[in-house]
Amino acid sequence: MLAVSVVSAPASAADNNRLNGSVVQMVSIVQYKAGCRDKVTVSPALRLAAQWHAVDVLNNRALAGGIGSDGSTPQDRANAAGYRGAVQETVAINPALAISGLELIRKWYHDPVDLAVMQNCANTEVGVWSENSLDRTVVVAVYGSPG
């Protein structure tokens, strides 16, 4: 009797921790250069809000900004994630499998609205999440001013 064992490779998902962390570091640098003196810290609630929106934008190609497929705003998602405070958000969509942190920050830095969000010294907390498909990378950063 012949026994056959089938081994399948585990499903893999991109590990974007390094990218997400580098975005937080670069936002800290942008804030410091803007004269902000409070250290930017990572908020798990804001990270969750960013994750929800990154997944939504990745899976709904008609989305290109802060409004979700369900009509939610960045503030709605932050509130649902348990964050208490005012929020702002930056979203980047790159038509490729990946994006570097430096490329991403340059993109936001050269957009006056995104730059103003990053330079807002009241935003002392942040949550960053990124999602990838073969032809698309979405990065969402949700910035918070604790209430």
Report the percentage of the chain scoring pLDDT > 90: 79
**pTM, full prediction:** 0.88
CA distance to 51, 90, 94, per residue, from 54 (Å)? 5, 11, 12
CA distance 46 to 38: 18
Hey, which CATH number is domain 17-146, 3.40.190.10, 3.40.33.10, 3.40.30.10, 3.40.50.920?
A: 3.40.33.10
Chain mean position to CA 139: 4
User: pLDDT per residue over 34-56, tens digit each?
Assistant: 999 999 999 999 999 999 999 99
Tokens representing residue 124 in the block? 């002392």
CA distance 71 to 111: 24
